[in-house]
Each structure stands twice: as structure tokens, then as C-alpha cells.
A and B are shown apart, each in its own frame.
Chain A
């Protein structure tokens, strides 16, 4: 399967712990996006990469959040000192070019529960 994959699918952690999620985009897709989705809401944009460069970050992305995309392939999203409000589904998407027209292909998401 050559779709977007995310790991882990589920993560339960205690408040104050650090967590890291991984996203593998569709190969040769040079744009990669991270979103957060809470129950009953649509995805909220967090950040995106054009190849290895992080081009935009939402104000939702506090200093406890950091994302990387070394070598322009897979990406990681780390949350430090997790809080209960961080509980959400974290979605990754990729698209083949910088054109706004292009469809974003979504992964299955990582569901984070902070106890």
C-alpha cells in the first residue's frame, strides 16, 4: 500500500510526558501537513513542510510542539510536557506539489489520550 501511514495509531500517556508521532507520506509527495482534530470538529491546521523546510506554523502550535521532516521524507511531531487538552486525533496529509489545487491525501491518524 502506498498511502500515507502514521505510527502509532493510538497513544495513551500521562500528563507531563513527551510523545512523538511519525508520518510517512506518499513517496515523491513534497508537501506534508499536520492537523489536529478534536471530537466533533474538523481538522485544524498545525504546520506544513515543503520538502524538508517547515514553511508555516499555526498559532495552535505552542512551544511544546515541534515538527521535523529530515531529508524531506517522513515527518515527526513531538509534544513535550503533554496536557489533557492535547488529547485529540493528529492527522498527517501529503500532496504532490505546492499548488493549492492539489488534493491532500490523509493518513489514518494517531489518537492521543492524555490522562
Chain B
């Protein structure tokens, strides 16, 4: 079964600084997709960014970008110019046509 590992239960960043959240996964599939979801306190989970495994180019969405290393099965999220509103739980997720799995999450704190 596919597994998703987030090795950082908690991370902290100073406002306006950059932070990187780590994620590794395990799969034998060649066609799959990777996602980062954000879950603010007491609010709904929303998609931050996604990456198709067949694309070599790293996805970017404004201040959010990923470092996708397919051979290493690594999918880290970089948040630039961190804002107070970025404080949340961040979940890395893997999906193929048969499976959808989430990591245990990283709690990000943004210090003013």
C-alpha cells in the first residue's frame, strides 16, 4: 500500500520568511498525483498546490512552490514570504486511480 510520511509534526516560521515542509511517499505506480492541502483551525481543508508525477517541472502557485523529486519520492512544499494567514495544518496527499492517502500533517506556526 502507498504510504505518505511527513516527518515534521510542527514547524515555525517568522512572518515574511521562507519555510519548507517535507513529504516523502512510497508507491510502485508510475502514474499518480501529489497534493498539499491546508487545514486552518476549525476550518475546511483546501487545496494549496498539486503536481502530476509525469511532469518534471515543479508546480508553483503564487507564494507556494514544490520541489518534486520523483526518483527520491520526495515532494516538499516551500512557502515564501510567510503570512499570518498561512498558519494551519498542512497535509501532503498521494492519489492514483485506486488510492488516496494523506500524511499525518505538519502544524505550521507563523510568528509576527
Stretch of B12-20, B68-76, B77-85, B101-109 on the interface side? B101-109
0/1 per residue, B1-16, Cβ < 8 Å to A? 0001010000000000
Question: A43 an interface residue at 8 Å Cβ cutoff?
Answer: yes
State the majority secondary structure of interface residues on A. Answer: loop
Contacts A42-B102, A106-B44, A109-B44 known; list 6 others, CB within 8 Å.
A40-B104, A41-B104, A42-B4, A42-B103, A91-B45, A106-B45
B residues whose Cβ falls under 8 Å from a Cβ of A: 4, 6, 31-33, 35, 37, 43-47, 50, 52, 91, 93, 95-105
Could you list which residues of chain A lie within 8 angstroms of chain B, going by C-beta atoms? 3-4, 33, 40-45, 56, 91, 93, 100-101, 103-104, 106-109
Residues of chain A within 8 A (CB-CB) of B35 are 103
- Cβ-defined contact, B105 with A3, below 8 A: no
Contact B44 A108 (CB under 8 A): yes
Are A103's CB and B44's CB within 8 A? no
B101: min CB distance to chain A, Å: 7
